[in-house]
A and B are shown apart, each in its own frame.
Chain A
Amino acid sequence: MKSEEELRGQMETIKKGGAEKYHIKAKERGKLFVRGRLKLLLDDESFAEDGMFANVLDGKLPADGVVCGVGKVHGRSVAIMANDSTIKAGSWGWRTVEKIVRIQETAVKLKVPLIYLVDSAGARITDQVEMFPGRRGAGRIFYNEANISGVIPQICGLFGPSAAGGAYIPAFCDVTYMVDGNASMYLGSPRMAEMVIGEKVTLEEMGGAKMHCTTSGSGDMLCKTEEEVIDAIKKHLTYFPQNCDEKPKDIEPKEPEFSCDDLENIIPKNENVPFDMYDLIKRIVDRDSFLEIKKIYAPEIIVGFSRIGGKSIGVIANQPKAKGGVLFVESAYKAGKFIQLCDAFNIPLLYLADVPGFMIGTAVEKQGIIRAGARMIFSVSQATVPKVSIIVRKAYGAGLYAMAGPGYEPDCCLALPTAMIAVMGPEAAVNAVFFNKIMELPEEERPAYINKLREDYRKDVDIYKLGAELVTDGMVAPSELRNEIINRFKKYESKDYHLPKRRHGVIP
């Protein structure tokens, strides 16, 4: 028989985690203790913990290295899995895995978001038979992640390593917010890479947060501190409902810092000249509401959660300032996943198009640009949430399709006066169609002829003509852009549109 006093003492011991030296080491690296992270994330006294006594008889593995339970963030229930890196580097035994699997089951039963605070060296190889291959082994974690994806939001904060199999936890999440310098993801450590394939690299090069946020696309935000990661998770949650059956809640709208009055002067008339799309975004969305993800990965497309007139929306915008706003394999993947994420949780989509098209050339063909583009357009096609497509400037070729042009069932496709919709731009088109004719002329007559052809081409795709032919649903004055978008999303609130019934599509 145990006394209450003894029980309390035991619980206090468990809550202290691993040995003092590991706490000191973590602190030196700027890392908080797992329960410190939970304190920052959760409302006071809101946490109900499960499996605290896991492996308690061992004495050295309190809670078996992972803290699981249900708490509240700004009054909303969330389920939590949080590794304790002071206990055997946060590694997984069978009880660790069982606790993670159970909290996934709990989260989906309660239909609440699941937040993974990851800081783990991976499997305990010594326990592999018990924790790796079986029906409720580690594989079950990723099976669950895949199958609850889109049912409840799954968010990852990465504070330390996520090694080998463990690296799939962030990879299956909706988003992963990472701490620069401490977070890492890799299948094989640098030591293993040197032994198995002979490559000599640092941990940072192999799988550091910066690499993942700029190059691999596995990271969604490069944060300086753990506090920044936790703030990002809290802000992220505000745009989302609890689960796929609910809609995000509206909040009080905030006027942007800059008005749309000078928008006309910001967008260059010459479609070849770049401009900064952020200047447009900050004039139309509510003040301080833009939570951009994958900002430093494939910057030629901008994606982020935002509010417009108090309503939660997802923004997908071409960025002419980066790589001319051309779509690449990486940008197509980035936008496609974002669109799927918003659509899964009833977040309406705003497309801001200024796109010369998908990149051409041997380099991108070898990377599968067609397949990548098809994948993005697949996501655009599948999204049934309210969709507003604004043609800011050019929308050429499949770029028009990728930005939810008229064929992609937007609730409206509106053109600014600077808009130009065509298979390709005038220069490329004239060259493609009239090349032989141009070459037949004496050289001195060519420039005038080319100019005339380009003018004719422009007239043929004039934006009024496209309105007249009902290609677009209307036009909008730049100074009215914010008001128009707010009004449109209000009108589309009642949208209830479903795709034909099937088992599922086959993603390209």
Chain B
Amino acid sequence: MLTIKNLHVEVDGKAILKGIDLEVHAGEVHAIMGPNGSGKSTLSNVLAGRDGYTVTQGDVLYQGDNLLQYEPDERACRGVFLAFQYPVEIPGVNNVYFLKAAVNAIRQYQGKEELDAMDFMALMKQKMTLVKMDNTLLKRSVNEGFSGGEKKRNEILQMAMLDPKLAILDETDSGLDIDALRIVAEGVNQLRHSQRSIVMVTHYQRLLSYIVPDYVHVLSEGQIVKSGDKNLALELEEKGYGWITEEVA
């Protein structure tokens, strides 16, 4: 699904990622953990194609194809989804309208027929139960005035609607209380699928107790310094990141 080879990325001339290698197969869930400033968000943003990140070296293959050649909207249409750490508010744009535009843009790109209003709403109703989304949120503008938990649920609802092949969850647990975290995690778990890969970027282990990863990677100073299974996350929780960085040094 996703192969990252020796990826080097600069931001404003400063090297942030210094040779990342990662292989994610279909159906797998990978957690990328690391202290602040280790390059976790940079990795998410580069995969999604955000402006301001310069790839100086290395390759990213997605479904065997060079991912970096595509514009951000094309990547989305090809099945790459990023759940934002800070979902953006768009005043005056209705949440449902936005989602319908997104769903149909992607369907169009993939050569599928656009969904009409009836089919769309039916699908929407079904997916909303995944994240226990309240109907009233549909009438509001995209993320405007949403609480932290509502925003993150909205992200997962979008993920459910857009049906991506590769989902990158950037600090999805940040700003969530324990109940909201559980709802969001359950939503994600129901979206786990043999044909879908999930890359979770997180600072804390707690998300991983709810969404149990197949692999855990530790990112430090722009490199993956240790990989393992879910037990690695537990070890990190216990000992902190200092242990790893010292061990590597």
Q: Do A and B bind each other?
A: no
Q: Which residues of B contact A (CB under 8 A)?
A: none
Q: Which residues of A contact B (CB under 8 A)?
A: none
